[in-house]
Amino acid sequence: MITESQKDLVKATVPVLRESGVALTSYFYNRMLTNNPDLKETFNMGHQRSGAQAQALAGAVLAYAENIDDPSVLAPVIELIAHKHVSLNIQAPDYNIVGENLLHSISEVLKISMDDPLIEAWGVAYGQLADVFINAEKALYEQHQQTKGSWLGWRQFKIAKKDVESEEITSFYLAPVDGGDLPKYEAGQYISVRVFVEDLGLKQPRQYTLSNSPQSDYLRISVKREDEKGELAGGWVSSTLHSLPEGAEIEVSAPTGNFFLIDPNKRNVFISGGVGLTPMVAMLNQLITQDMPQPVTFIHACRSGLVHAMKKHIQAHQAKFPRLSTFTAYEFPQPSDVLGQDYDVAGRLDLASMDNALLPQDADYYLCGPMPFMAEQQKALIARGIPVENIHSEAFGTGGVKLS
């Protein structure tokens, strides 16, 4: 149990963490991965090189220090990260490795002895936080064990089919090599995939939202090709996936995540930007299987029709279900878009100017896309009087990026 004096020591590091937290966590990751090179196949090296991983951890460490008196306020973040850890098969012993390297990093960066009371205080604080994560993840692992068709760790899948959705996005239909059952997951959840990256000589993981409602014989992800390797998170994994032929095998973790359709019997509004439409399509498909019990609004923003994935899929649903309303914003419409009249507005999405019928007060709202996009849409919804508790966002980590 952490003492009040130890809490005070941890809180005293808050100014340092605000000023130099990223430098500390960058040092920590370099130390840990140097001492434990096998972990390079657990952590996404693209996030390491871009600094996204260090930024996310720095934010989490700072939040814990600031809320050491009442860590319960961090429950939503802990739940989010626990799902990420389970998708990467993080186990309890891994926390010992992280703790040892974190404490030594604090000692070495701050130039204080490992016997200093501050290191002891952070050791106790870290131990308590690790126990919280271990217990949360244990419950998720047990849930997977009790779910028919689910599994623990990595399972071999083959790419059964590739379907080009736009100039940038391709859907991958993944079938289990063992031919076994697949679990019933929640529309909006994600999987981790792990592939061998030639440039690194390593297996690399990346998390991708499942872009369809549960199917009996395949999982589907729709992946944006990101050719910049290292600077943009996922570049190595996405470019490797796009280069693989049908029939190639990859490793996949079981579906997980805490962003999913909450109430199919309520009015729902889906707002997405770019490849953020993938969980929205999965949720819409789930509602289609239930004959769409309530009206749905599907709002999407992207650069142009050239990169608008699954457009025909949505249009086909709209033709069949009058309760489905759509609205599309193309920031830079192409001549073919103008001729086809395939969008509603040119320019950035502006919820303030939209018809009230498309944005009802009593609906649940789901947002997914780049962090600035989601922040802008949430602000606009609140300005329209939508209760904040009715707005649900797909957060890709504490810093707005996937933690893998």
- Note the pLDDT tens digit of each residue in 164-220: 999 999 999 999 999 999 999 999 999 999 999 999 999 999 999 999 999 999 999
Does residue 403 belong to any structural domain of this protein?
no
The pLDDT of residue 395: 64
Residues 188 and 238 in one domain: yes
Contact (CB, 8 A) for 256 and 140: yes
CATH number at residue 12: 1.10.490.10
The alpha carbon torsion through 140, 271, 376, 53 (nearest 10 deg) reads 30
Rounded-to-integer distance, Cα 404 and Cα 400, Å: 12
Residues 284 and 372 in one domain: yes
Residues 32 and 86 in one domain: yes
Residues 85 and 113 in one domain: yes
Mean pLDDT, residues 285-312 taken together:
95
Mean pLDDT, residues 381-397 taken together:
88
Contact (CB, 8 A) for 21 and 58: yes
Does residue 132 belong to any structural domain of this protein?
yes
Res. 25: pLDDT tops 60: yes
CATH number at residue 203: 2.40.30.10
Residues 141 and 21 in one domain: yes
- Percent of all residues in the chain with a pLDDT value above 70, rounded to a whole number: 96
Q: Which CA distances in Å does 70 have to 65, 74, 138? A: 10, 8, 23
The pLDDT of residue 290: 93
Bridging pattern class, strands 190-197 and 169-176: unpaired
The pLDDT of residue 61: 94
Residues 47 and 69 in one domain: yes
Does residue 398 belong to any structural domain of this protein?
no
Does residue 13 belong to any structural domain of this protein?
yes
Residues 56 and 99 in one domain: yes
pLDDT band at 356 (very low <50, low <70, confident <90, very high): very high
Does residue 402 belong to any structural domain of this protein?
no
User: Considering the chain, what is the average pLDDT of its residues?
Assistant: 93
Burial group, residue 259, by CB count within 10 angstroms (0-12, 13-18, 19+)? buried
Overall domain count for the chain:
3
Residues 78 and 51 in one domain: yes
Residues labelled as active-site residues: 95, 137
Q: Which of 92, 120, 146 is the last residue of a domain?
A: 146
Residues 119 and 33 in one domain: yes
The pLDDT of residue 47: 83
Instruction: Note the pLDDT tens digit of each residue in 213-261.
Output: 999 999 999 999 886 544 444 589 999 999 999 999 999 999 999 999 9
Model pTM score: 0.92
The alpha carbon torsion through 206, 211, 214, 216 (nearest 10 deg) reads -80
Does residue 367 belong to any structural domain of this protein?
yes
Burial group, residue 231, by CB count within 10 angstroms (0-12, 13-18, 19+)? exposed
Q: Which of 252, 263, 270 is nearest to 203 (CA)?
A: 252
Range of the domain at 87: 4-146
Rounded-to-integer distance, Cα 274 and Cα 269, Å: 17
The pLDDT of residue 123: 97
